[in-house]
């Protein structure tokens, strides 16, 4: 029966039969071991349990053996198969579980993929070595690199600066989290800003997930804002339209590569526009007609319009941008690019914002400029503008910059042809309020001076005036009238520092004889006045206390110092004296109070020359006359004209007066009273009429007449006298400019 | 020769060769019968012990198997301890899965033994040897 089953099964049943028989005979454990091995073999060879049982039963029948005795053998054989059966059920269960888990995982995978792709932010997975192994659609959009290029090894193609990124993210990567803002280059070339955030996958340490967000727009907006902030801040302290435009140009230089900014306005309606240029080239730009047409049209555009102007040869690029500022008068800006270029949307946005701020800044500065102009105009109106008469020098130094006026003032007014009024005054206070009072007092004092009354009376009138001017109370004034012909100075002093007089060869004296109270203070009697006669060559100094008053020293010391300076400069012209006084009395840090000074150098004693009438003495005459004219303070070109005219007259005397006789003498006399210069050239010979044949020199009389205010020739048998009069320094006029001066 | 009385049929056997397997089987059968296990349980116990012992000879070369009746969770059980100083099992969880074999066998050994007995514990450290402890409770008190 065993032979009926062929092959393996046959072999198995043979071995089984043999082993069972042995066990039935011996009952040995070794046979049970064999049964165990048979069972394993049956499992391996996939022998059916049914067949084992059948074979077992057959052998028992053959042997006639007891089933119970044989049971252990059967059980041992089936043990392996039994274990397998039990394992099957477990395995099937486990398989089912795994399948379910796998399906659930697949669902989750699908879900994950959908989620990742729905993100607006770019998503990526990268290994610790930097290789990007997974990305989503948004990542591809932001960087331009899609999933076909995966994996992207380090350094990534979208990074223009990989090492920087490694530095910035490296430390964070160690810690498991990192964030950074950086620039990337899109596949199509343009640069963008992104914010990157990544973190390590927990427990792994080798994998990172992260997101990428495009922040280009936000950064551009921030850059725009800071450009505007810079503009607003800088423009806030600008003091001229030019400064504001320069600041705007700087911002536009970076934003749109502008090299020049031109502000065009039409203050006179349709006349030629006024241009203001900042940048290079700085000369007046030569606009071609198309651009000029655009600028003219732009006058009618709505304010804050920004429009690029296309380049002539490249319609895609513009040569510059035209913008219209708001406010009046209409101002059109022309922003010229360095080279023609397209203007991006961001550029236009920035410009639109800039133009708005610029308009405000320009308006403010214009107001400021207008106000400053008005202030300066008013201030200058309060200053004495005329040149002082000859022999006088004036200086005015207000204490409070940037003001050009203060509470002090001076005036030197010719009253008629031989009298000059001199006033130096000092209002209470400093700065503009004092200047306002000063202006009113000054006008009143001038008007009063011109009435020609006596100084004391004039000051009394000024007292009355001062009562009606708020702030004029206690102003101090020194008022004097000088008679140039006699040298008499009549003066009155209302509380002011005393004038100083330095006569040559004598110690300086103070003119303090007629002092009284300041303006506006009640007096019981009239004001005093005094006379003093100025010796020839004397110097007079009238001033305000800013010159001499110093903290920590007595004012008398300052006044004495001024007197010493005056006395140390005998013969020096008034201008020189004024310079030296200011320089020597200045404190180390400069004057800290208003200073006004008037210096007068009284004319020198008349010149009397009496020399032999020979040609050799002409040079001598000229030299002595020139010295005398300098001392008298007569400047060029009059100085030269006088010397020339006198030289002519003297030459005539020398050549003609003593012809045919032994040479006599020629006298030259000169006198100056401050306004008139009189020169006399006299001889005691007979003056021949001019040779009918004109020689090279013979223009004499006509020339003298041309340069002087008048020539008189008196010819008698006793001699000839030529008198010439020159008018000197009537305020504002240059006598030599009217006549044909030989020196021009 | 160990006595055939319950509680006194404990044994400790050294394993070197295949022949020692039979001695281990015999000792296990004796203890199981002494404790009153029916023939199917006895077969299962002996089969499990054989598998564990075979693991030792196959992987470690030599070891010690001890058999005793000991209380477990308040009941008497036939406890088998197999100790070797072999290479240890590196992945116990995997070793307890059917079909996993490193010797080209059926992979029944450990998981099979676990199914045949009531409990099976393994203490092993790669390179430091293995201790397998398994037991089957005596049924109906004992």
- Note the pLDDT tens digit of each residue in A501-531: 998 888 999 999 888 999 988 887 889 999 9
Question: Which candidate, B105, B140, B108, B136, places its Cα nearest to that of B120?
Answer: B136
**A675 neighbors A418 (Cβ within 8 angstroms):** yes
Chain A: give the shortest CA distance to residue B135, in Å: 17
The pLDDT of residue A733 = 40
A86 touches chain B (CB under 8 A): yes
**In sequence order, which residues have a C-beta less than 8 Å from that of residue A619 and are 6 or more positions away?**
none
Whether B106 sits inside 8 A of A40 (CB atoms) is yes
A41 touches chain B (CB under 8 A): no
Residue A235: per-residue pLDDT: 78
What is d(CA A33, CA A38) in angstroms, rounded to the nearest whole number?
9
Tokens 């044909």, located at residue: A740
Those of residues 115-134 in B touching chain A at CB distance below 8 A are 115-116
Q: What is the torsional sign of CA A230, A236, A240, A241?
A: positive
Phi first, then psi, for residue A410 (nearest 5°) are -135, 160
CB contact under 8 A, A76 and B47: yes
* Whole-angstrom distance, CA of residue A533 vs CA of residue A598: 18
Q: How many other CB atoms are there within 10 angstroms of residue A294's CB atom?
A: 17
For tokens 């990305």, name the residue: A135
pLDDT at A113: 84
Q: Residue A521 to residues A408, A473, B42, B74: CA-CA distances in angstroms?
A: 19, 7, 144, 130
Please say whether the beta carbons of A565 and A502 come within 8 A: no
Query: Least CB-CB distance to B21: which of A33, A43, A84?
Result: A33
For residues A679 and A712, is the Cβ–Cβ distance under 8 A? Answer: no
Q: Cβ contacts (< 8 Å) between A36 and chain B: which residues?
A: 47, 50
Q: Running DSSP on this structure, what letter comes out for residue A655?
A: I
Q: What is the pLDDT of residue A741?
A: 35
Measured from the Cβ of residue A62, the count of other Cβ atoms closer than 10 Å reads 13
Record: contact A87-B112, CB cut-off 8 A: yes
Q: Is A75 on the interface with B (CB under 8 A)?
A: yes
Q: CA A621, A625, A629: angle at the middle one, nearest 5?
A: 170
- Report the chain A residue with the minimal C-alpha distance to residue B113: A83
Q: Which residue has the tokens 């591809």?
A: A140
A337 bridge partner residues: A258
Determine the Cα–Cα distance for residues A491 and A509; give it in Å rounded to an integer: 14
Sheet with A207-214, strands from edge to edge, namely: A132-135, A122-127, A207-214, A191-200, A177-185
B47 part of contact set with chain A, CB < 8 Å: yes
Q: Residue A662's pLDDT is what?
A: 80
Evaluate whether B106 touches B11 at the Cβ level (below 8 Å): no
Q: Which two tokens stand for residue B15?
A: 């394993």
Going by the DSSP 8-state scheme, the letter that residue A280 receives in this structure is: S
Size of interface A-B (CB pairs under 8 A): 51
Q: A32 and B46 in contact by Cβ < 8 A?
A: yes
What distance, in Å, lies between the first and last C-alpha atoms of chain B? 23
Task: Enter the DSSP assignment of A142.
Answer: H
Strands A476-483 and A419-426: antiparallel
Which residues in chain A have Cβ-Cβ distances shorter than 8 Å to B98?
87, 90-91
Do B39 and A71 make contact, defined as CB atoms within 8 angstroms?
Answer: yes
Tokens of residue A109, six digits: 């995978």
pLDDT at A8 (0 to 100): 55
Check CB contact under 8 Å for A43 and B106: yes
DSSP-derived 3-state class of residue B28? helix
Closest CA to B105 of A37, A88, A176: A37
Residues pairing with A665 in the sheet: A612
- Per-residue HEC secondary structure of A248-276 comes to HHHHHHHHHCEEEEEEEECCCCCCCCEEE
Interchain pair A87, B21: CB under 8 A: no
Q: Do B108 and A79 touch (CB under 8 A)?
A: no
User: Nearest CA of chain A to the CA of B67: how many Å?
Assistant: 17
Distances (CA, A) of A570 to A508, A535, A601, B102: 11, 12, 9, 131
Tokens of B86: 């072999």
Residue A355 is encoded by which pair of tokens?
A: 């133009």
**Integer angstrom CA distances of residue A93 from A90, A131, A641:** 5, 40, 136
Q: Is the dihedral of CA A489, A494, A495, A496 positive or negative?
A: negative
Q: Which residues of chain B have pLDDT under 50?
A: 1-6, 141-142
Total number of residues shown for chain A: 744
Region of A623 (left: φ > 0; alpha: ψ -120 to 50; beta: rest) is alpha
pLDDT at A458: 94
Distances A267 to A303, A318, A506, A553 between C-alpha atoms, Å: 17, 29, 64, 57
**Which residues in chain B have Cβ-Cβ distances shorter than 8 Å to A37?**
none
**How many residues in total does chain B contain?**
142
Could A80 and B108 be called an inter-chain contact, meaning their C-beta atoms sit closer than 8 Å?
yes
Q: Tell me the C-alpha distance between A727 and A737, whole Å.
A: 12
A82: enclosing H helix or E strand: helix A67-118
Which pLDDT does position B5 carry in this prediction?
Answer: 47
Contact A76 B108 (CB under 8 A): no
Q: Is the peptide bond before A637 cis (omega within 30 degrees of 0)?
A: yes
Q: Where are the alpha helices (DSSP H) in A119-188?
A: 137-143, 162-175
CB of A449 closer than 8 Å to CB of A457: no
A727's tokens: 């008018």
Residues of chain B contacting residue A76, judged by C-beta atoms under 8 Å apart:
43, 46-47
Residue listed under structure tokens 């110690």:
A507
Contacts of A33 in chain B (CB under 8 A): 21-22, 25, 50
Q: How far apart are CA B141 and CA A571, in angstroms?
A: 150
Token pair recorded at residue B85:
């100083």
Residues of chain A with pLDDT under 50: 1-7, 693-696, 730-744
d(CA A169, CA A178): 6
State the DSSP code for A677. Answer: E
User: Which helix (H) or strand (E) element contains residue A608?
Assistant: strand A607-612
Nearest Cβ partner of A79 from B47, B98, B111?
B47
Q: Look at A40 and B26 and tell me if their CB atoms are within 8 Å.
A: no
Q: What is the predicted pLDDT for the residue at B8?
A: 54
Helix, strand or coil for residue A386? coil
Predicted TM-score of the model (pTM): 0.49
Among residues B55, B23, B28, B53, the alpha carbon closest in space to that of B43 is found at B28
What six digits make up the tokens of A150? 């995966």
3-state secondary structure A308-368: EEECCCCCCCEEEEEEECCCCCCEEEEEEEEEEECCCHHHHHHHHHHHHHHHHHHHHHHHH
Is the CB of A40 less than 8 angstroms away from the CB of B40?
no
Integer angstrom CA distances of residue B83 from A33, A720, B95, B110 = 22, 163, 17, 14
């Amino acid at each position: 029966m065993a032979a009926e089953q062929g092959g393996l099964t046959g072999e198995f049943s043979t071995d089984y039969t043999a082993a069972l028989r042995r066990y039935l005979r011996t009952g040995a454990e070794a046979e049970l071991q064999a049964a165990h091995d048979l069972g394993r073999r049956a499992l391996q060879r996939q022998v059916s349990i049914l067949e084992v049982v059948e074979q077992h039963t057959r052998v028992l029948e053959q042997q006639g053996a007891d089933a119970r005795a044989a049971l252990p053998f059967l059980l041992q054989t089936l043990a392996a198969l039994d274990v397998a059966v039990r394992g099957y059920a477990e395995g099937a269960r486990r398989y089912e579980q795994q399948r379910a888990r796998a399906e659930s995982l697949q669902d989750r995978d699908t879900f994950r993929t959908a989620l990742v792709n729905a993100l607006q932010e770019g998503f990526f997975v990268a290994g610790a070595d930097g290789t990007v192994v997974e990305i989503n659609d948004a990542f591809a959009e932001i960087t331009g690199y899609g999933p076909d290029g995966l994996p992207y090894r380090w350094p990534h193609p979208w990074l223009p600066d990989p090492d920087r990124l490694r530095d910035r993210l490296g430390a964070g990567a160690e810690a498991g989290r990192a964030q950074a803002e950086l620039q990337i280059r899109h596949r199509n070339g343009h640069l963008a800003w992104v914010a990157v955030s990544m973190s390590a996958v927990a427990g792994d340490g080798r994998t990172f997930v992260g997101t990428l967000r495009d922040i280009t727009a936000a950064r551009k907006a921030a850059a725009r804002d800071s450009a505007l902030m810079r503009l607003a801040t800088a423009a806030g302290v600008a003091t001229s339209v030019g400064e504001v435009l320069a600041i705007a140009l700087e911002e536009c230089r970076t934003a749109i590569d502008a090299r020049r900014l031109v502000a065009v306005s039409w203050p006179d309606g349709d006349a030629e526009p006024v241009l203001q240029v900042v940048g290079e080239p700085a000369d007046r730009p030569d606009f071609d007609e198309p651009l000029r047409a655009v600028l003219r049209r732009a006058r009618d555009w709505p304010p804050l319009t920004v429009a690029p102007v296309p380049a002539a040869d490249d319609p895609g690029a513009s040569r510059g941008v035209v913008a219209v500022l708001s406010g009046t008068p209409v101002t059109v800006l022309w922003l010229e690019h360095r080279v023609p270029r397209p203007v991006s949307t961001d550029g236009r946005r920035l410009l639109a914002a800039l133009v708005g701020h610029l308009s405000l800044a320009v308006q403010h500065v214009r107001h400021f400029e207008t106000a400053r102009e008005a202030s300066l105009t008013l201030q200058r109106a309060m200053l004495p503008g005329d040149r002082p008469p000859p022999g006088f020098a004036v200086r005015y130094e207000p204490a409070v910059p940037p003001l050009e006026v203060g509470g002090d003032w001076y005036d030197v007014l010719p009253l008629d042809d031989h009298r000059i009024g001199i006033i130096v005054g000092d209002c209470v206070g400093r700065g503009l309020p004092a200047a306002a009072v000063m202006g009113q007092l000054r006008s009143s004092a001038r008007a009063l001076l011109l009435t020609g009354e006596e100084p004391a009376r004039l000051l009394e009138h000024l007292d009355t005036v001062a009562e009606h001017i708020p702030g004029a109370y206690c102003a101090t004034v020194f008022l004097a009238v000088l008679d140039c012909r006699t040298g008499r100075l009549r003066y009155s002093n209302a509380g002011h520092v005393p004038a100083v007089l330095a006569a040559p060869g004598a110690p300086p004296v103070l003119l303090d004889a007629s002092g009284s109270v300041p303006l506006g203070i009640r007096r019981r009697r009239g004001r005093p006045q005094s006379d003093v006669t100025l010796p020839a060559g004397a110097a007079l100094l009238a001033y305000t206390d800013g010159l001499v008053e110093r903290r920590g020293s007595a004012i008398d010391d300052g006044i004495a110092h001024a007197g010493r300076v005056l006395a140390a400069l005998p013969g020096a012209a008034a201008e020189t004296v004024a310079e030296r006084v200011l320089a020597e009395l200045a404190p180390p840090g400069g004057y800290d109070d208003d200073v006004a000074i008037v210096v007068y150098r009284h004319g020198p004693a008349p010149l009397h020359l009496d020399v032999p009438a020979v040609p050799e003495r002409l040079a001598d005459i000229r030299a002595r006359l020139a010295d005398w004219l300098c001392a008298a303070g007569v400047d060029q070109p009059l100085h030269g004209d006088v010397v020339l005219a006198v030289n002519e007259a003297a030459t005539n005397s020398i050549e003609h007066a003593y012809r045919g006789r032994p040479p006599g003498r020629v006298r030259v006399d000169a006198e100056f009273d401050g306004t008139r210069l009189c020169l006399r050239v006299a001889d005691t010979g007979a003056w021949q009429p001019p040779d009918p044949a004109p020689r090279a020199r013979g223009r004499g009389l006509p020339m003298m007449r041309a340069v002087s205010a008048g020539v008189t020739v008196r010819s008698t048998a006793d001699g000839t006298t030529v008198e010439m009069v020159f008018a000197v320094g009537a305020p504002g006029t240059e006598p030599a400019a009217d006549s044909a001066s030989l020196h021009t | 020769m160990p006595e055939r009385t319950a509680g006194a049929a404990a044994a400790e056997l050294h394993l070197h060769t295949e022949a020692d397997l039979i001695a281990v089987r015999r000792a296990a059968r004796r203890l199981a019968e002494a404790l009153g296990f029916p023939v199917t349980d006895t077969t299962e116990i002996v089969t499990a012990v054989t598998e564990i012992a075979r693991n030792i000879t196959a992987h470690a070369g030599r070891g010690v198997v001890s058999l005793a009746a000991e209380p477990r969770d308040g009941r008497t059980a036939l406890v088998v301890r197999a100790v070797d100083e072999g290479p240890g099992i590196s992945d116990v969880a995997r070793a307890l899965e059917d079909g996993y074999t490193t010797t080209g066998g059926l992979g029944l050994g450990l998981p099979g033994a676990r199914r045949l007995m009531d409990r099976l514990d393994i203490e092993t450290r790669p390179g430091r040897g293995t201790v397998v402890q398994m037991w089957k409770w005596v049924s109906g008190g004992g």
